[in-house]
Chains A and B, each alone.
Chain A
Amino acid sequence: MSYVSRNKFESARKHIQEESGNLDVLGPENRSWWRQKSKNKQFNQSNSSMTVETVKQLTKVFCDDEALINKKLPKELILRIFSYLDVVSLCRCAQVSKAWNVLALDGSNWQRIDLFDFQKDVEGPIIENISRRCGGFLRQLSLRGCQSIADGSMKTLAALCPNVEDLNLNGCKKITDSTCQALAKHCVKIQKLNLDSCAAITDLSLKALSDGCPQLTHINISWCGNVTENGVEALARGCPKLKSFISKGCRQITSKAVVCLARFCEGLEVVNLLGCNNLRDEAVQVLAEKCNKLHYLCLSGCSQLTDTSLISLAQQCPYLSTLEVAGCSQFTDAGFQALARSCRYLEKMDLDECVLITDATLIHLAMGCPRIEYLTLSHCELITDEGIRHLSMSPCAAENLTVLELDNCPLITDASLEHLTSCHNLQRVELYDCQLITRVGIRRLRSHLTNIKVHAYFAPVTPPPSAGGSRQRYCRCCIIL
C-alpha cells in the first residue's frame, strides 16, 4: 500500500516518464539514491505525513528477516543472481525491500553501465552518485549522448573510480580538458576512451592522457576540431600500446602527426583519418611501413593522396581488410592493381568518387581479392558493364559479395544486372541515378535473386484500385439509406 501511494506521489512530481517503456523505471525509482539526499528527506516528510500508520504496518510485514526468500537464500546467492541482471531490473529489485536495496545497489553489480537509453535524464548528480556507489568496481561506463554531463561530475567520477578501463563520452559536448586531466591523474588503467564530438577537447587533453594513461589502446577523438598535430604527437609518445586511433574530421591533423603515430605505436590496427585533407603520401608511406598489422584504414576525403600511398600499403600491409578511400580522386587503376595483387584479405572497400578508376580496377579486384563482401563504386563514372561482368565472374562474387553500390555510374545498363544474377549472396544493390537502368532489368534481377534489395529512383508501383470493392461499399450505403 505504501509503495503504491509512493509511486503515485512520485508520479505527481515531474520526473516520472510514462509510456516510454524502460525509461520510466530508471526515472523515478532510482532517484531515491541517485538524487541528493536533501530531496529524499523532503519526499519522506511529506509522504510520512500522509501514511504514517500504513508505513508502520508494512515495515512489519516486509521486515527484512521475515520475508521468506531472504530466509531461504543467503545474501551471497542473491548478490550472485543480481549480478546477471540489467540496469532496469536491478533498479526494480532495489525497490523491493531495504535488504534488497542494499544488495541490488552493491557496487559489484555495477561494473558495466550503459546509460545511452537514459541520456536525457542523466545529469551531474546521477554520475556523482554512481561513482560513489560503484567506487573501484566500475570498469566500463558509457555516457553516450548524455549532453548535460559537465566537468564537475566527471572529476568526481575520476577521483572515486580509479579502475575504469572503458569510458565512452561520445557526444558529451560540455566536457573540456579538465575532465581528461582528472582522468589522466586518477584512472591509470584506462584502456579505451571515446571522446567523439567533445568539441571542447584540445591538445592539452591528449598531453595529459599521454602522461597519465600508458595503457591506452583505443582512442577516438572524432570531430574534436581543436586537436592539432602537437596533441597527437604527445599521445603517440606516451601511449605505445595504441591499437585503434580514430580521428574523423580533425582537419588540423597533418602528415607529421601521422608519421609520429606510426613511429611510436607500431601495433596500430585500426586507423581512421576521415576528412584530414592535409595528409600527404609520405604519411601513409610511413604508416604502411611501420604498422604492418593494419587491417582497417579509412582515408576518405584525403584528396591529396596519390597512387604512391596505395602502392606502399600494398607492399607493407597484407592483412588489410577494410579500406575506405571515398573522395581520393587521384587514385588510379595502377594503385588498385598493386593493392589487389597483395592484399588478399580485403573484405570491404569504399571507392566512392575515385573518378579515375575504370573497369581495369574491377578486373584486378575480381582476380586478387576473393573475400570482397562490400564494394562501393558510387560516382565512379568510367565503370561499364564490362567491369561488372568481370566482377560477377570472380570467386568473390559467387561466394561473398553482399553489397554493391553503383549509384551515379551513368554507363551501367541492364546488362550489368544480368551479370549480377550469378552473385548468389548479393543482398543489396544501389542503382540511384543510373539512367540506363530500366524497371524491366530490375524485375529480371529480382526474379533470379529473391532476397535482393534494389535501390533506384522508381515510383513505387501502386496496386490497382479495387474498383469492385469501393463500388460495393457505395451500394451498401445506398441500401442503408
Chain B
Amino acid sequence: MICKKSLTMQEDNSMFEKILGDLEHIIENDINSRLKTFSVVPVTENKNKSPILYERQNGSEHHLGLESWCVKHIYKYASTELFRVRRLLKKNRLSVFQMETLNKYLVGALLINPEVTTFWNMKKELIEQDILQTGKELLFTKLVLSHKSKSNDTFNHRRWLLKRMLSNTKPECYIDMLPEEFAVTEFAAEKAENNYHAWTHRIWCLENFLFSKTIDYQSKSNVIFEQLQFSLGWINNHISQHSGYHYRQYLINCIKNIPTMNNSISNTSFMFVKNLLGLSIEDMSNERSFINKLLGESKDYASESNNYSNYVCILLYELFHTLKTLFCFYPKHETIWYHRKFIVYHLLQWMYDCYGIEWQPKINLSNVCEYNVNVVDNCTYKNVKFAESGEKFAKLFKFETDRLDSSLLYQIIVQSEFDIVKTSLSSACLHTQKLAERYERWLKNIACLRGS
C-alpha cells in the first residue's frame, strides 16, 4: 500500500515537473515577447489535457492561462522544491546545473503567488549569478503583474531589476526607459482599483530616471506636462481613486523645480490665469511684476529668486478650471474635496513663503507655549511660531497678515472657496452637505482662512 502510494506520488511529481517545464519554456521562448497576460482559468472537469492554455494569434498579443485544477498542486510542489534548496542557494552551494533547473519552480510559484519575497530573492540570487537575464526578468514581472496587479513584491523586484539596468546604461538614455514603465504601471492601475503600488512605482521611475542631472530641463518639463495631461484623462475616468490624484499632486510639485515654460498646457494655464485675474500682458511678462500683481507691491519677497509663476499658474488653473469642471459632474466624491484641499494648501503655502512667514497650519495648539519672536532683518519679516492657548488658529503678525489679506490672490481664493462651500451646503444631497461642512471646518481651522 505504501509502495503504491509513493508510486502515484512519483507520477504526480513528474506531471508537475512537465507542467512547470512547459510553462518556463513558453515564457522563455515567446516570440518577440508578445506575451501580455497570465491568468488562472476556472474549469470544472479535468480531462487528460495539458492545463496550460497558450493563445497565439498572428500579429496580436499572446495570452497564457493555467487551468484551475492544477494550481494548488503546482504551487505546493514548486514551493516545497524551492524551500528544499533555499539554504543551499543562499550559501552558494548549488552547482550551475542545479541552479539552471531552479527557474521553472520559481516561474510556476511566482506566477501563482507573487507575494512571497523569498522566491523573488532567489530570483535575484540567480540573476546575480548570471543564470537569468535582466531583460527576460523584466518581461516576467510584467506578466506577473497582469495576473496580480497589486503585488508590491513584484514592483519591488522590478525596481531592483531597473536599478541593475541603470548601472549599465548611460545617464542620457535613462529617459528612454520611462515609456515602458509608464505602460506597465498604467496597465496595472487599469487592472486593479486604487493600485497604490503601481502609482508609487511610477513616481519612483520619474524620480530615478527623469531627475538625474544629465537630463536637460526642456525634456524634463515635456515629460512632466505630458504626464499632467495623462493624469487628467485618468482622473476623469477614475474619479474616486485617490492614488491617481496623488500622482497628479506629485507632478504639480515637480513643476516647482522646472523653470522653463514652453508648453501648450502651461500656455493654456497662463492665458487662463490672465483672464481670471484680469491682468494685462505686461503684468505677466516677467516674474516680478506677476508676483507683485498677485501679492501686492513690494520689493522684498523671500522667494523672489525662484521662478514660481509657472507653478502658481498651474495651481490656479487646477483650482479654477479642472476642479471646477470635475466638481460640476461629480459633486458627491470625497476625493475631489481632498484634491481641492491640496491645491489650496499649496497656494497658501507659497504665499506665506513669499511673505517670509512661517506657516504651520497643523500646530498642536495646547502644547505650544506662548512666545513671539520677531526678527527684523533688512526689512524682511521672519516670524516664527505664534500660538495662543485656547485659540484655534495661529495668529500672524498684524502687518503681514494685513498685507496677506489684502492681496489679490488671497481674496480670490477666499471668495471662491467659501462660495463653493455655500452652494454645496444648499444642495439637496445630504452627503454633499456633509462633505462641504467638513471642508469649511478645514478651511477655518487648518488652513486658517479668514473670510466672510
A residues in contact (CB < 8 Å) with B: 17, 19-20, 23, 119-120, 145, 147, 171, 431-438, 450-451, 453-461
A458–B46 CB distance below 8 A: yes
Binds A, one of B11-19, B33-41, B423-431: B11-19
Q: Which residues of A have CB within 8 Å of B87? A: 19
B50–A457 CB distance below 8 A: yes
> Please, what's the 1-or-0 string for B5-46, where 1 marks a CB less than 8 Å from any CB in chain A?
001101110110011000000000000000000000000001
A147–B48 CB distance below 8 A: no
Q: Which of A435, A437, A453 contacts B10 (CB 8 A)?
A: A453
Q: List 16 A-B contacts (CB under 8 A).
A: A20-B93, A119-B96, A120-B95, A147-B96, A433-B50, A436-B48, A453-B7, A454-B11, A455-B14, A456-B15, A457-B70, A458-B46, A459-B70, A460-B8, A460-B73, A461-B8
**Residue on A nearest B22 in the bound complex, by CB:** A432
Which residue, of A435, A437, A458, has the highest number of chain B Cβ atoms within 10 A? A458
A437 with B48, Cβ < 8 A, contacts A119-B96, A171-B96, A450-B4 known: yes
> Please, what's the 1-or-0 string for B103-123, where 1 marks a CB less than 8 Å from any CB in chain A?
000000000000000000000
Q: Which of B4, B48, B69, B73 contacts A435 (CB 8 A)?
A: B48
Q: Which residues of B have CB within 8 Å of A23? A: 93
Nearest Cβ on chain B to A174's Cβ, whole angstroms: 13
Q: Which residues of B have CB within 8 Å of A119? A: 95-96
B92–A459 CB distance below 8 A: no
Q: Which residues of A have CB within 8 Å of B50? A: 432-433, 457
> Please, what's the 1-or-0 string for B80-102, where 1 marks a CB less than 8 Å from any CB in chain A?
00000001100111011100000
A453–B95 CB distance below 8 A: no
Q: Is B170 an interface residue (CB 8 A)?
A: no
Q: Which residues of B have CB within 8 Å of A453? A: 7, 10-11, 14
Q: Which of B7, B10, B48 contacts A456 (CB 8 A)?
A: B48
B93–A120 CB distance below 8 A: yes
Which residue, of A432, A434, A438, has the highest number of chain B Cβ atoms within 10 A? A432
**Residue on B nearest A431 in the bound complex, by CB:** B48
**Residue on B nearest A437 in the bound complex, by CB:** B48
**Residue on B nearest A452 in the bound complex, by CB:** B7
A145–B48 CB distance below 8 A: no
Q: Is B47 an interface residue (CB 8 A)?
A: yes
Q: Is B398 an interface residue (CB 8 A)?
A: no
Nearest Cβ on chain B to A459's Cβ, whole angstroms: 5
Which residue, of B18, B48, B69, has the highest number of chain A Cβ atoms within 10 A? B48
B95–A455 CB distance below 8 A: no
B73–A459 CB distance below 8 A: yes
Q: Which of B4, B18, B70, B97 contacts A432 (CB 8 A)?
A: B18
Distance of A437 Cα from B97 Cα, bound (Å): 35
A457 with B96, Cβ < 8 A, contacts A17-B91, A431-B48, A433-B48 known: no
Q: Is B356 an interface residue (CB 8 A)?
A: no
B48–A434 CB distance below 8 A: yes
A438–B48 CB distance below 8 A: yes
Distance of A120 Cα from B96 Cα, bound (Å): 8
Distance of A436 Cα from B49 Cα, bound (Å): 9
**Residue on A nearest B92 in the bound complex, by CB:** A120
Q: Is B65 an interface residue (CB 8 A)?
A: no
A459 with B11, Cβ < 8 A, contacts A147-B96, A433-B50 known: no
Q: Which residues of B have CB within 8 Å of A456? A: 15, 48
A457 with B10, Cβ < 8 A, contacts A147-B96, A435-B48, A437-B48 known: no
Distance of A147 Cα from B19 Cα, bound (Å): 30
Distance of A461 Cα from B91 Cα, bound (Å): 37
Q: Which residues of A have CB within 8 Å of B259? A: none
Q: Which residues of B have CB within 8 Å of A432? A: 15, 18, 48, 50
B95–A20 CB distance below 8 A: no
Distance of A120 Cα from B94 Cα, bound (Å): 8
Which residue, of A119, A450, A455, has the highest number of chain B Cβ atoms within 10 A? A455
Distance of A1 Cα from B201 Cα, bound (Å): 58
**Residue on B nearest A451 in the bound complex, by CB:** B7
Q: Is B296 an interface residue (CB 8 A)?
A: no
Q: Which residues of B have CB within 8 Å of A120? A: 92-93, 95
Distance of A438 Cα from B45 Cα, bound (Å): 12
Distance of A437 Cα from B96 Cα, bound (Å): 39
Knowing that A20-B91, A119-B95, A458-B15 touch, tell me 11 more A-B residue pairs with CB under 8 angstroms.
A19-B91, A119-B96, A145-B97, A171-B97, A432-B18, A432-B50, A433-B48, A453-B14, A457-B15, A459-B70, A459-B73
B48–A455 CB distance below 8 A: no
**Residue on A nearest B51 in the bound complex, by CB:** A457
Nearest Cβ on chain B to A80's Cβ, whole angstroms: 34
B15–A455 CB distance below 8 A: yes
Q: Which of B4, B51, B93 contacts A17 (CB 8 A)?
A: B93
Nearest Cβ on chain B to A11's Cβ, whole angstroms: 14
Distance of A334 Cα from B96 Cα, bound (Å): 44
A459–B69 CB distance below 8 A: yes
Q: Which residues of A have CB within 8 Å of B18? A: 432, 455
Distance of A453 Cα from B6 Cα, bound (Å): 11
Distance of A458 Cα from B48 Cα, bound (Å): 6
Distance of A455 Cα from B7 Cα, bound (Å): 11
Nearest Cβ on chain A to B352's Cβ, whole angstroms: 59
Nearest Cβ on chain A to B60's Cβ, whole angstroms: 25
Nearest Cβ on chain B to A239's Cβ, whole angstroms: 29
Q: Which residues of A have CB within 8 Å of B4? A: 450
Q: Which of B46, B47, B88, B96 contacts A145 (CB 8 A)?
A: B96
Nearest Cβ on chain A to B125's Cβ, whole angstroms: 14
B49–A435 CB distance below 8 A: yes
Distance of A377 Cα from B357 Cα, bound (Å): 85
Q: Rank and list the top 6 A-B pairs by shortest CB-CB distance, nearest first.
A: A460-B12, A459-B69, A437-B48, A456-B48, A20-B93, A459-B46
Q: Which residues of A have CB within 8 Å of B69? A: 459
Nearest Cβ on chain A to B38's Cβ, whole angstroms: 19
Nearest Cβ on chain A to B65's Cβ, whole angstroms: 14
Distance of A145 Cα from B93 Cα, bound (Å): 13
Q: Which residues of B have CB within 8 Å of A147? A: 96
A145–B7 CB distance below 8 A: no
Q: Which residues of A have CB within 8 Å of B10? A: 453
B48–A457 CB distance below 8 A: yes
Distance of A455 Cα from B9 Cα, bound (Å): 11
**Residue on A nearest B76 in the bound complex, by CB:** A460
Nearest Cβ on chain A to B339's Cβ, whole angstroms: 50
Nearest Cβ on chain B to A379's Cβ, whole angstroms: 13
Distance of A451 Cα from B7 Cα, bound (Å): 8
Q: Which residues of B have CB within 8 Å of A458? A: 15, 46, 48
A435–B47 CB distance below 8 A: yes
Q: Which residues of A have CB within 8 Å of B48? A: 431-438, 456-458
**Residue on A nearest B10 in the bound complex, by CB:** A453
**Residue on A nearest B14 in the bound complex, by CB:** A455
B11–A457 CB distance below 8 A: no
Distance of A464 Cα from B149 Cα, bound (Å): 35
A145–B95 CB distance below 8 A: yes
B11–A455 CB distance below 8 A: yes
Nearest Cβ on chain A to B195's Cβ, whole angstroms: 33
Distance of A20 Cα from B50 Cα, bound (Å): 38
**Residue on B nearest A147 in the bound complex, by CB:** B96
Q: Which residues of A have CB within 8 Å of B11? A: 453-455
Nearest Cβ on chain B to A396's Cβ, whole angstroms: 24
Q: Which residues of A have CB within 8 Å of B88? A: 20
> Please, what's the 1-or-0 string for B322-339, where 1 marks a CB less than 8 Å from any CB in chain A?
000000000000000000
Q: Which residues of A have CB within 8 Å of B96? A: 119, 145, 147, 171
Distance of A145 Cα from B96 Cα, bound (Å): 7
A433–B49 CB distance below 8 A: yes
Nearest Cβ on chain A to B320's Cβ, whole angstroms: 62
Nearest Cβ on chain A to B81's Cβ, whole angstroms: 16
List residues of B (208-266) whose CB comes within 8 Å of A's CBs.
none
Nearest Cβ on chain A to B172's Cβ, whole angstroms: 33
B7–A457 CB distance below 8 A: no
Which residue, of A145, A456, A459, has the highest number of chain B Cβ atoms within 10 A? A459
**Residue on A nearest B52 in the bound complex, by CB:** A457
Which residue, of A120, A436, A457, has the highest number of chain B Cβ atoms within 10 A? A457
Distance of A454 Cα from B19 Cα, bound (Å): 15
